[in-house]
Structures are given as C-alpha cells and as structure tokens.
C-alpha cells in the first residue's frame, strides 16, 4: 500500500518539478542573455573569414550595428618579398560607409579588443592622424 502511494506521489510530483525546472531554465541559457562588452572596441568574426573591428550596438539583436569600423588588409611590397598587414578605416570605399549592419546569422564570434592590444593601438593612432567624419544615419 505504501509503495503504491509513493508511486502516485511521484507520478504527480515529478512532472510538476520538471515543469518548474524547464521554466526556470528558459530564461537563463547562454542564448537568452544579450552580450555586453566592457571594452571600447570589439572584433566581429564572420563566417566567410572576414574580421571587422568596431563599436558594436545591439549585439544580441538580429542585425547588430557596428560603428567606427576597421579591418585588416594584407599588402605585398613592390619587390614581392614581404607581405604587410595594415589596418584600414572603413569609409574610404566608393560608397563611403561609416557604419554597417551585420546579419547575426553570419557572425561566428564577437570578442572584446583589449585596450592595450596592437589593434587598439593602431585604431588610436588612426584617430590621432586625421579628424573623424561625423557619424550620421
């Protein structure tokens, strides 16, 4: 008789406990939190291998916005012996973009750019060399 009562209690209590655990878990998973960064710049790695550096807004949204965008380009010296990597400010292209929206489905990873990293130093140098155009949408 006691075993039968225990079975009935388990039959009613266990689904209730599982339901509570599922409800609590729905809002606390890694995909439910919006990313936030403590650094001024972030590195955005895309599925096609491109990497952009900039100030990201709405990182958890469907189309995060990246402002003050930079990317690295490789240039070969005229003598052909050495390849040099240089940081390029986005906006010098023919259409002059000063920001970009990125489809989140193409983002592989977003990482903070450390303030003392080489990329952060190059961005700081670029800001000191020339005045930045106004950012208008």
pLDDT at site 49: 92
pLDDT at site 83: 81
Q: Where are the beta strands (DSSP E) in the chain?
A: 41-46, 51-57, 65-76, 83-89, 99-101, 107-113
For the chain, how many residues are written?
137
| Boundaries of domain holding 100 | 34-129
Same domain for 70 and 82, yes or no, is yes
Nearest alpha-carbon partner for 119 in 84, 97, 88: 88
Nearest alpha-carbon partner for 124 in 134, 135, 113, 109: 113
Q: 134 in a domain, yes or no?
A: no
pLDDT at site 92: 77
Spell out the per-residue pLDDT of the chain, length 137, in tens: 555 555 555 555 656 555 565 665 555 455 556 777 889 999 999 999 999 999 999 998 999 999 999 998 888 877 777 888 888 898 877 887 889 999 999 999 999 999 999 999 999 988 888 655 544 44
pLDDT at site 24: 59
Same domain for 19 and 44, yes or no, is no
Q: 109 in a domain, yes or no?
A: yes
What one-character DSSP code corresponds to residue 23? Answer: H
């Amino acid at each position: 008789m006691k075993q039968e009562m225990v079975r009935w209690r388990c039959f009613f209590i266990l689904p209730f406990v599982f339901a509570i655990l599922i409800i609590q878990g729905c809002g606390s998973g890694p995909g439910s939190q919006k990313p936030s960064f403590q650094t001024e710049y972030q590195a955005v790695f895309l599925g096609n291998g491109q990497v952009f550096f900039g100030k990201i807004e709405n990182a958890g949204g469907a189309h995060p916005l990246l402002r003050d965008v930079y990317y690295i380009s490789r240039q070969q010296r005229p003598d052909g012996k050495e390849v040099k990597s240089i940081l390029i400010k986005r906006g010098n292209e023919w259409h002059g973009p000063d920001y970009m929206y990125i489809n989140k489905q193409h983002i592989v990873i977003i990482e903070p750019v450390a303030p003392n990293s080489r990329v952060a130093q190059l961005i700081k140098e670029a800001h000191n060399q020339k005045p930045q155009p106004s950012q208008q949408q």
